[in-house]
Amino acid sequence: MAEKWIGVCRLDFAPEDAADVLAEVLALQPGTPSGWQTPRADLAEALRAAGCRAPTPPLQPIFTALATDAPPPEVDGIEVRRIATFEEHLHGIEIELAASDFGEEGETRRRAAARETFERRRKRPGGQWLAYVDGEPMGWAGAVAGPVGLYLSGGAVRPEARGHGLYRALVRARWDDAVARGTPALAVGAQETSRPILERCGFERVCTMYELETDA
């Protein structure tokens, strides 16, 4: 069974109303965890005081929104292919888990939900990609297609394969997909590990974002 999750963004309320807003949202699906994103530091502070907490690792409480409508640099010598099979999807999960600290519970949860995640991502517009080194999948990336561009929904490279351009090659592959769709633009919410790479690829800062969660 798919895990239910409430996502809340584009927040517009007075900080003093945070407790009431939080209670109203959580009442929509009692017992369901929630995630909150906002560029407003005052609302993030108010939500923390009302009962929200920092997001579960590897997510961070602060990240940077970036975007570009210019072609990222091409990367020679890296093979990138779109994920088409469940086996390839499993490779992507293992790359994600190797690249970041999800914790034992998080790793178990990601692997247990692999089939549901694969089917859900196959149905939504966008895709997933793998980057290869000597025929072995060493990098993964995802994206969701929107009306004006692609939102980069994640990217990871195995630690032993970093420094060879796999991450940048995956950015370029998603740019090429956006161009093929007639929507040449990319947007992303970047943590500090990837922000400098993306800025070197031509992305520009839009704003600082704050992320919070509640437990079930």
Write the CB contacts of 20 (distance below 8 Å, at least 6 apart in sequence): none
pLDDT class of 106 with cuts at 50, 70, 90: confident
More confident call, 46 vs 103: 46
Check residue 3 and give its pLDDT.
Answer: 62
Q: What is the mean pLDDT of the chain?
A: 95
Check whether 2 has a pLDDT greater than 50: no
User: The whole model's pTM is what?
Assistant: 0.89
Write the CB contacts of 71 (distance below 8 Å, at least 6 apart in sequence): 172, 175, 179, 184, 202
Topology (CATH) of 79-184: Aminopeptidase (3.40.630)
Check residue 5 and give its pLDDT.
Answer: 85
Phi, psi of 58 (to 5 degrees): -90, 5
Residue for token digits 């929200």?
52
The per-residue pLDDT for range 153-173, each reduced to its tens digit, is 999 999 999 999 999 999 999
Check whether 82 has a pLDDT greater than 90: yes
pLDDT class of 58 with cuts at 50, 70, 90: confident
The per-residue pLDDT for range 128-152, each reduced to its tens digit, is 999 999 999 999 999 999 999 999 9
Please give the structure tokens belonging to residue 189.
Answer: 């919410």
The rounded distance, in Å, linking the Cα atoms of 9 and 134 is: 41
Sign of the C-alpha dihedral computed for residues 145, 151, 157 and 163 taken in this order: positive
What H or E segment, with its residue span, contains residue 196?
helix 195-200
Query: Residues 186-201: what's their mean pLDDT?
Result: 95
State the pairing for strand pair 34-38/6-8: parallel
Domain ranges of the chain: 6-61, 79-184
